[in-house]
Amino acid sequence: MVRGKTQMKRIENDTSRQVTFSKRRNGLLKKAFELSVLCDAEVALIIFSPRGKLYEFSSSRCYSINKTVERYQKKVKDLSLCSRGIQDNTQHDKHGTVGIQKKLEHLEISKRKLLGDCLDASSVEELNQIEKQLDRSLTKIRARKNQLFREQIEQLREEEKCLLKENERLREQCGIEERGSTRKDDENEVETELFIGPPERRIP
């Protein structure tokens, strides 16, 4: 015979409700015992009947159910503190993010003012500060530019010295080759007679 599905609602009949309570209580206590043995888990079970009678189960052999309850309360407290710390850190991160955004906005406004934009709402004192800041920036820029010019000039001078040395070396090398070629031309010179006129006829 197939058992029908039990509806999850209060049993109105007192006798049936008491029988169901006894059966399911025993089944729940059995499951708690099996869970503690099979999985080596610390299990504490507290049941109050409709009439207020207490039923309890504790898997701990050395301690009563009160020890498990204390452990539970301590764990809940630690989790609450941890959750509160996470919330505080989240709030701190939010404030930090807002602060960074404000700094970025301030830097962006300062950059625009240095470029000559958004000056309509600036006071005379603020304009004087911007002018001084630009003067300091120009001084640093000119100093850096002059330094680069000096470095480039020094580099060009070094290159000029190297080119002069190379030019001198090439001149000496070319002078040796010219003298050597002149001697070879003198040695290969052959004396010849120059005759102007029609060629002589040879009589066989």
The Cα 129–Cα 21 span in angstroms is 84
Higher pLDDT, 194 or 67: 67
pLDDT at 102: 78
Q: Which CATH architecture has domain 11-59?
A: 3-Layer(aba) Sandwich (3.40)
The identity of residue 163, as a single letter, is L
What is the 3-state secondary structure of the chain?
A: CCCCCCCCCCCCCHHHHHHHHHHHHHHHHHHHHHHHHHHCCCCEEEEECCCCCEEEEECCCCCCHHHHHHHHHHHHHHHHHHHHHHHHHHHHHHHHHHHHHHHHHHHHHHHHHHCCCCCCCCCHHHHHHHHHHHHHHHHHHHHHHHHHHHHHHHHHHHHHHHHHHHHHHHHHHHHHHHHHHHHHHHHCCCCCCCCCCCCCCCCC
pLDDT at 60: 74
pLDDT tens column, 55-100: 888 887 655 788 888 888 888 888 887 777 666 666 666 666 777 8
pLDDT at 90: 67
Residue 66: both structure tokens together: 């009160």
Residue 151: both structure tokens together: 């470095």
pLDDT at 92: 63
pLDDT at 149: 92
Burial class of residue 65 (count of CB atoms within 10 Å of its CB; 0-12, 13-18, 19+)? middle
Give Dmax over CA atoms of the chain in angstroms. 170
pLDDT tens column, 89-120: 666 666 667 778 778 887 777 777 777 777 77
The structural domains of the chain, with segments of one domain joined by +, span 11-59, 65-121, 122-181
Burial class of residue 25 (count of CB atoms within 10 Å of its CB; 0-12, 13-18, 19+)? middle
